[in-house]
Amino acid sequence: MKLGLLVNEGPFNHQASDTAYHFAKAAISKGHQVLRVFFYFDGVNNANKLSEPQSDDRNIVKMWGELASAHNIDLVVCVAAGLRRGLKEEVLADGFRISGLGQMIELGLAADRTIVFGD
């Protein structure tokens, strides 16, 4: 099954990003394909390479990038939501790219299922 994920919450104030990440890993392990993860609203903060979690905490930004690299997943950050939160190309973590809502619409058309994480 081809899956699309929409992450609407940031990495440090809500469980949605972690849940989406672990869902993606589990789906891939069962043979499903994650086509794209679209980060929207506060979810764009998952792409900020300037975030520095404590040494004993997970680095979800890095984890997303590694998962995308290993499984050819397109990680897309909404340009409008990113700009509202000060996220520009120069602060994007490895594996992420900025694009518009058209990428979310395209994902909905290409995926068999689109799953939303966060409000």
Number of domains in the chain: 1
The letter for the amino acid at 113 is R
> What's the pLDDT score for residue 58?
92
**Three-state secondary structure readout of 28-48:** HHCCCEEEEEEECHHHHHHHE
The pLDDT score that the predictor gives to residue 108 is 96
Residue 87 sits in a domain whose CATH number is 3.40.1260.10
Report, as ranges of residue numbers, the positions in the chain whose pLDDT lies below 50: none
Query: Of 24, 67, 78, 87, which is the active-site residue?
Result: 78
* Active site (annotated) includes residue 78: yes
Amino acid code (one letter) for 19: T
* Residues spanned by the domain of 101: 2-117
Amino acid 53: pLDDT: 87
Nearest CA-CA partner of 75 in 58, 87, 93: 93
78 closest CA partner among 88, 68, 65:
88
Residue 55: per-residue pLDDT: 85
Identify the pLDDT of residue 95. 97
